[in-house]
Amino acid sequence: MRITALAGGVGGARFLRGVLAAAPEADVAVVGNVGDDITLHGLRVCPDLDTVMYTLGGGIHEGQGWGRAGETFSVAAELAEYGVGPDWFTLGDRDIATHLVRTQMLDAGYPLSAVTEALCARWKPGVRLIPATDDRAETHVVLVDEEGNRRAVHFQEYWVRMHAPKAEAITFVGAEKAQPAPGVMDAIAGADVVLFPPSNPVVSIGAILAVPGIREALAATSAPVVGLSPIIGSAPVRGMADKVLAAVGVETSAAAVAEYYGADLLDGWLIDEKDAAQRDRVEAAGIRCRAVPLLMRDLDATATMARAALELATELGRPDD
């Protein structure tokens, strides 16, 4: 079975563990979000790709869900002594090695997809991790201050430095000229199942969909496309999905997110049992819906979620069902 998943950071990476546990024989491709990527201290940092790579490769800091286990911070402490900012984004030493390898390869002319493949040669994540695009397509958040002045900040600044205040709009700078990285279109067209993990629908999955061609490929693929709601009740399980959903005019609910993706993209949608009442609304939008436990408490619970998604896909794949 060929499974292709679109993934953001922590939530996506954890869900992928469940997919690998639920379908150990599957050939899994992951289209990773690069909208959060940022250059810090001259180093190209790809937080979501690295979170997937470290999580599936056994290098992740399990407690926080991102960054390296056993991390040290000598470099960051020295950069602070030099008074070199930004002081709101701390790179760990182990993590810096990844960024050094990446930056050097990018500077040598390799596309990000080739760099990611090279990094994964060490981590062996058990999936084929492909950046959504090799081009620069950065997620920026438009804010309005008290005087009504608008300004856009990089997503990392919005999230890490500013702790996700009210947002006015989300833009994907450069996305309109970006092309899907080699392998992305084939992974979508050739999949037996496409999964949308419970990642942020706007700044994770949405940033992937902002790359021209990917949305169309998802609409055109013969594979059933099944997503899992990142919203349980009226709040995101983690992160700032409520803030960025508001910025795109979408209420924070499992059904509203399904409608936001729309039946063009989604064939099936899993919502949490607590939100079972929203099932009819989702199905009214032309999306098959099931209510199952959606909290990724541990690997077993996550694998159960992945199985439910794959079962829904199988059901959707049957001609007359």
Binding site for a copy of itself (CB under 8 A): 41-43, 71-72, 74-79, 81-84, 92-94, 96-98, 100-101, 103-104, 107, 119, 122
Whichever of 20 and 119 has its CB closer to a copy of itself, that residue is 119
> How big is the CA angle at 118 (ends 214 and 180), to the nearest 5 degrees?
15
Q: Compute the least distance from the CB of residue 70 to a copy of itself, in Å.
A: 9
CB nearer a copy of itself, residue 56 or residue 79: 79
How far is the C-alpha of 57 from the C-alpha of 98, rounded, in Å?
Answer: 13
The nearer residue to a copy of itself, 51 or 200, going by C-beta atoms, is: 51
Q: Rounded to the nearest whole angstrom, what is the least distance from the CB of residue 81 to a copy of itself in the complex?
A: 6
Contacts (Cβ under 8 Å, ≥6 apart) of 260: 201, 245, 248, 250
| CB of residue 104 to a copy of itself, shortest distance in Å | 4
The answer to whether 222 and 316 have CB atoms below 8 angstroms apart is no
Tell me whether residue 76 or residue 265 sits nearer to a copy of itself (CB atom).
Answer: 76
Give the nearer residue to a copy of itself in terms of CB position, either 21 or 101. Answer: 101
The SS3 of residue 144 is strand
Comparison of 74 and 234: residue with beta carbon closer to a copy of itself: 74
Query: 175: which DSSP letter?
Result: G
Taking every pair of Cα atoms in the chain, the longest distance, rounded to a whole number of angstroms, is 66
In terms of CB distance, is 124 or 163 closer to a copy of itself? 124
Cα separation, 317 vs 120, in Å, equals 32
Distance, in Å, from the CA atom of 184 to the CA atom of 186, rounded to the nearest integer, reads 5
Signed CA dihedral, 215, 219, 220, 222: sign only: positive
Please report how close the Cβ of residue 120 comes to a copy of itself at its closest, in angstroms.
Answer: 11
How many other CB atoms are there within 10 angstroms of residue 23's CB atom?
17
Task: Tally the residues of the chain.
Answer: 321
Task: State the DSSP code for 277.
Answer: G
- Cβ neighbour number for residue 79 with a 10 Å cutoff: 18
